[in-house]
Amino acid sequence: MVHITNVTGIESPELSIYNEQSEVQLYRINEPEPGIFIAESPKVIERALGAGYEPISLLLEDRQMKGEATGLLEKMDELSFDVPVYVADDAILTSITGFHLTRGVLCAMKRRVLPSVGEVCEGAKRVAVLENVTNPTNAGAIVRSAAALGIDAILFSHGCTDPLYRRAIRVSMGNIFLLPWTFLPEEGSIELIKSLGFSTVAMALRDDSRSVDDREIVSKDKLAIYLGAEGDGLLQETIDACDFCVKIPMSHEVDSLNVAAASAVAFWAMGMH
């Protein structure tokens, strides 16, 4: 059962979880137990609920009480979540987020213990591996492409942004909740992935790189596709350790694509479709 409370000011103690603590603080709030993240928009929150994440509270713009949030509240009741729902006007939500929320709904949710790499990769044929992708927008866009284009799971290096940061979730359209994912160990990750039966493919601009749709590579039963940070790309030691190196053929003397755009091309070319 949900419990609705109207709040009239940003200083209301009920809003402290949304207003006073940074995402890094929320990430670490329950250490050593998993922390908290904030999801926004009814569709994204419903996907998180469907993936088994537990809500702590909801913050709604007052107009949403008769809008898209009605279905979300019904979903909460169906799942027997006993959570407080705080209702505020648009000005309060805007002051919290820094911008107008088109679908004014925020939900604080409990993080879960991350699965092992082996659990994430069980049964997977195509895995995306992100190395040091620190930009939440790029990470979210890659996740969205992965979900749409035949990728079964996603692995993040410890140098990556947190895929449950609000912006990353928002850009992914909540697709992070549709795919299994986890963080890689800091040492020996390529060896671990290879031990699980994957051929490893580095996306890198080298003279000897093959085309992204190379038949020998695409025909492999299990592929782990490595993508590096915008600008810097993959670490040289990662490129050297991978079984194959591929690039997207370019025209008009364009040398590269944004990593998020490149990921979509790579997933389509090497995905199971």
Looking at the structure, tell me whether residues 26 and 138 fall in a common domain.
no
Shared domain check, 216 and 124: yes
Instruction: Report yes or no: 226 and 154 within 8 Å, Cβ to Cβ.
Output: no
If asked whether residues 9 and 63 sit together in one domain, one would say yes
- Answer with the one of 85, 110, 135 that is the final residue of a domain: 110
Pick from 177, 136, 99: which is nearest to 24 by CA? 136
Q: Supply the pLDDT for residue 250.
A: 79
The confidence score (pLDDT) of residue 1 equals 61
Selected residue with higher pLDDT from 162 and 271: 162
Number of continuous H segments (helices) and E segments (strands) in the chain? 12, 12
What average pLDDT does this structure show over 46-57?
Answer: 93
Please tell me whether residues 189 and 88 are part of one structural domain. no
Average pLDDT over the chain reads: 88
142 shares a domain with 263:
yes
- Shared-domain flag, residues 34 and 64: yes
CATH number at residue 129: 3.40.1280.10
Model confidence pTM above 0.75:
yes
**154 and 231 housed in the same domain:** yes
Residue 101 confidence (pLDDT) above 60: no
> How large is the average pLDDT for residues 176-199?
96
Structural domain of residue 68, as residue ranges? 3-110
230 and 134 housed in the same domain: yes
75 and 142 share one domain: no
Last residue of a domain, one of 68, 84, 110: 110
* Residue 266 and residue 169 in contact, taking contact as beta carbons nearer than 8 Å: no
**Boundary (domain end) residue, out of 110, 129, 159:** 110
Same domain for 204 and 135, yes or no, is: yes
- Mark whether 132 and 246 lie in a shared domain: yes
For residue range 221-258, list pLDDT tens digits in order.
999 999 998 878 899 999 999 999 999 887 877 777 78
How many domains, the chain? 2
Integer Rg of the chain from CA: 20
Clarify whether residues 124 and 256 are in a common domain: yes
